[in-house]
Amino acid sequence: MEPLTVSPALLDSLQGDLSGLPQDDPDRRCPCGGDKCDGYGHVYTGEGMKICKAMREQEIIRMLPEFEDWPVLPFTEIRTKSSFLATRSFTEAELLARAAIDPVRDPYALIELGGHGRSKTYSALQVCRICAYKNVPFVAVRFPAIINQYKRGVDGCGWIDRLYAQIKKSRFVFIDEYGREAIRGNLDHSRIALNEVVNRCYRQRFLTITSNMTREEFKKNVSSDLVSRLFTRNGYSRIIEEPSGKEHDLRDQPRLI
Model confidence over 234-252: pLDDT tens digits?
889 999 999 988 888 877 6
Q: With 60 as the cut, is the pLDDT of residue 20 above it?
A: no
CATH number, domain 64-252: 3.40.50.300
Angstrom distance (rounded) from CA 257 to CA 81? 7
Mean pLDDT of 44-68: 72
**Amino acid in position 156:** G
Q: Name the residue among 139, 123, 132 with its Cα closest to residue 66.
A: 139
CATH 3.40.50.300 domain extents, the chain: 64-252
Angstrom distance (rounded) from CA 27 to CA 145? 26
What pLDDT shows up at residue 184?
61
Mean pLDDT of 28-34: 77
Strands (E), the chain: 42-45, 48-51, 109-114, 138-142, 172-176, 206-210, 237-242
135 vs 203 pLDDT, higher one: 203
Measured in residues, the chain has a length of 257
Enter the pTM of the model: 0.77
Determine the longest span between alpha carbons in the chain, in angstroms: 88
What pLDDT shows up at residue 3?
52
What pLDDT shows up at residue 18?
46
Most confident of 193-197, 219-223, 231-235, 247-251: 193-197
**Amino acid in position 139:** V
